[in-house]
Structure formats: C-alpha cells, structure tokens
Amino acid sequence: MISPHARVCLFSPRAPYHAVVEPKERSKTCLIDSHGDGVTDDSPSILDAFESCNDGGRAVFRRNQTYIIGTAMDWTFLNHIDIDIQGKILFTNDTTYWQANSFKFGFQNVTSFFKLGGNDVWIYGGGTVDGNGQIWYDAHAKDIYTLRPVLFGIDGLHDSVISDLVLRYSPQYYHFVANSTNVVFNNIDIAGRSTSKHAAKNTDGWDTYRSDGVTIQNSVINNGDDCVAFKPNSTNILVQNLFCNGSHGISVGSLGQYAGTYDIVEDIWVGNISMHNASDGARIKVWPNTPSALSGDLQGGGGDGRVRNITYSDMVIDNVDYAIEIDQCYGQKNLTLCLQYPSPLTISDIVFEGFRGRTSKTYQPLIGALACSSDTACANIRAEGINVMSPNGTRDAYCLNMNGTSLDLTCTDNYKGFN
C-alpha cells in the first residue's frame, strides 16, 4: 500500500494558505471489480466499496479495467478514505437520465454526475475519469439550456487531496469546488476537444465557489474556457505551476451576477503560469449594475461585493488576446449603458507582475484592457514588469477610470470590445 505521506507533493514557489492536514492511517483495502462489458452500470459495487472502506480504508479501481457509471451518487459521506483510481471511470451518455438526476448546485446551472464531500479524502492513482463529453457538446449546440454535468462536483470537502489523475471530455466544468476548505489539487491532466463542428464550451478547469484554502498546482489544462475561475466567496486560494492552452485565462469571476448578493473574492495568489492560445491571461470580470445577457443561458447583473488582494505573478503570454483584463461590463457590450449603471463592486490591491511574451493580433495595438465602472470602484491597481508586446511591437492598454501612473503600460482610450 502506498503511504499517504509519500503522496504529498512539494509546494513551490508558495506554500498553501493553510497547512495540509496529515491523513489518518489506512488499514483496509477494498478492491472494486467492474462488469467489464462496457455497458453494465458499476455504480453499486463502487458505492459498496466506498461504504466498506470509509473511516480508514482504501478503495481501489483496478488497473486496466473500465468502470461504467450510470447512476448519480452522493459521496458526501466520505471520511478518512483513499480512493485509488488506477483504471478508467466512464460516465454513460444517457443525457436524459443525467439531466433529470444529476446534482444541482444552484449557481449558474451547475449540475454534477456525483457529489463529492467529506473529510480527509485522498484521491490519486494515475487513472482516467472520462465524462463522455461529445454527446453533450452536440446536445448543447442544439439546445443551449441542456444541463451538462461537471466532471468533479465537490460540495463540502475538507482537508483533502486530489492528485495524479487524467481527466477527459467533461460535458462542462472539470471541477466545481463548493463549500470546501483546505483542498489540494496536484498533477491533474485535463483535455477534451470536440470531434464535431460543435465546440466543447464552458469546460473550465476549476471553478471555486464559497470555498477557502484551495490549492491548484502542477497541472496541464487544454480546454475551452477559464483555466481557473474564482467564483463568489473564494478566499485564500493558491494557483501555481500551470500550463493552460486554449482557455479564457485565470479569472476572478464572474461576480455581481445576482442582484441582492454580495460577492467576495480575496487573498488569491497566482504564479508561474504558462498561458497559450487564449482569450486572456489574467482577468477580472464583473457584471454591471443593470440586467445584461452574455447568452440566453448566462445573464445577470446588479450584484455587489469586493475583490481584494489578488496577485498574478510570473506569467508567460503566448498568442493571448489580452494579457491583462479588468472588465466591469461583463455581459454588456453597450459601454454607454454599462457606465450609466456602474457596478458598485470594488476592486482593490491588485498586482500584475512579471508578465512576458506576445499577444495575438486580435486587439493590437492593445495588449490589455483595464476598465473600472467608476472613478471610485478601483484602488491600488498595479502592473509591474510587464514585458509583453503585441505582434506589431506595441504595449498599449485601454484604461478607463484607472490610475495610469501605477501601470507599466501605455494607457490609451482606444476601446476594443470586451466579452
């Protein structure tokens, strides 16, 4: 049996905001067998193993076996357990069943195949978790209101580690981390492009929500939306050593989507990121104070809150549309209307430092855009050591209600669209 202590990864250049809790000893092993026919639902045997090995055991998905999951399972009862995924987990393509039975989180139409929670849960093994996403990409193209499950739906997970996994073809986000504390994600390999003309949309690598003390590190993400996104009430988050390709960047938000709510994102450190072929590098996105619609299934505006103490450090920019973006008009393409109804959400103590590379041609001569909703919404926004050029050799950034003296950029009022 692998010692839990041997599985703890090294943290560099930063340590997590909260120390990783030592796992309790595992004294029992539960081997999980699959039916092996690629059709029969293996959910009952998986659930039996989790129940048998809970409170001090290790449940093992055997190497070279494929496990079919066709039943939504609540795994929030887990405590002091290892889940060793050596084989492959594959979710069925029964979109009718999953839309009716997947777990709903009550935020941005998020649902999940399973709900993972508990204390001292270690998941590892080098195996693959496959969301069978192609049928979902095609279904969403026909009907944007299709409820696509996230691959890892996490709700109430504490003092736990998820490491050394291959994640493929999630229907929507790869991870949604809600109501959780002190969770580490390490060495996760994410990919899953569509093989049809219908893109794999909204396939964020990680979204954190109402969670504190999350660490995401040492991972490769090839996806079609945010590499990582800090949703409302994400605090003390560390993100480091990521390769992101094809994404929408590492994003704060979107925030202020729901009227009457107060969203908080603060104490975030993001560093040593390699960003390729993306719409953004570092991004903060906030809805305006008026109803707006980014799409039929994504709309909002009118919320309040604060973004504070966010650092983006040491980011390589390679064919990225905007290296840096602050957008308080998210979902609203009418800038006049957005400024007429400025977001009350404040953004303060933000640092972008040590960026290098080259943007795409999309917005040149701009390499960034920093737009605050009013002259009081933003304070202490700094950009230092920004060695990023557009293809034609410029370093311009669109600035609105922004103190340009603290920005290692050339501010201009040359607006080129958001969203």
**254 in any annotated domain:** yes
Q: Is residue 125 over pLDDT 80?
A: yes
Position 291 confidence tier, pLDDT thresholds 50, 70, 90: confident
**94 in any annotated domain:** yes
**230 in any annotated domain:** yes
**106 in any annotated domain:** yes
Q: Is residue 194 over pLDDT 90?
A: yes
Q: How many structural domains is the chain composed of?
A: 1
* CB neighbourhood size of 59 (10 A): 25
Can you tell me the distance from the alpha carbon of 274 to that of 276, in angstroms, rounded to the nearest whole number?
A: 7
Q: What is the mean pLDDT of residues 134-161?
A: 97
CATH number of the domain enclosing 351: 2.160.20.10
Which tens digits make up the pLDDT trace of 4-50? 444 567 899 999 999 999 999 999 999 999 999 999 999 999 999 99
Catalytic residue among 18, 175, 248, 276: 248
Q: Is residue 100 over pLDDT 60?
A: yes
Please, which residues have CB within 8 angstroms of residue 48's CB and are 6 or more apart in sequence? none
Can you tell me the distance from the alpha carbon of 282 to that of 307, in angstroms, rounded to the nearest whole number?
A: 14
Structural domain range at position 238: 30-412
* CB neighbourhood size of 419 (10 A): 13
Which tens digits make up the pLDDT trace of 150-186? 999 999 999 999 999 999 999 999 999 999 999 999 9
Can you tell me the distance from the alpha carbon of 38 to that of 19, in angstroms, rounded to the nearest whole number?
A: 41
**372 in any annotated domain:** yes
Rounded to two decimals, the pTM is 0.96
Instruction: Give me the chain's average pLDDT, please.
Output: 94
Q: How far from 98 is each of 16, 77, 104, 227, CA to CA, in Å? A: 35, 21, 11, 25
Tell me if residue 140 is catalytic: no
Q: What is the mean pLDDT of residues 358-367?
A: 97
pLDDT at res. 417: 58
pLDDT at res. 334: 77
Map 263-297 to HEC letters: EEEEEEEEEEEEEECCCEEEEEEECCCCCEEEECC
**135 in any annotated domain:** yes
Position 331 confidence tier, pLDDT thresholds 50, 70, 90: confident
**417 in any annotated domain:** no
Q: Where is 48: in which H helix or E strand?
A: helix 43-53
Among 208, 200, 138, 196, residue whose Cα is nearest residue 168 = 200
User: Up-side HSE of residue 153: CA atoms within 13 Å toward CB?
Assistant: 24
Tell the burial category of 265 from Cβ atoms under 10 Å away from its Cβ (0-12, 13-18, 19+). buried
Can you tell me the distance from the alpha carbon of 355 to that of 385, in angstroms, rounded to the nearest whole number?
A: 6
**76 in any annotated domain:** yes
pLDDT at res. 3: 43
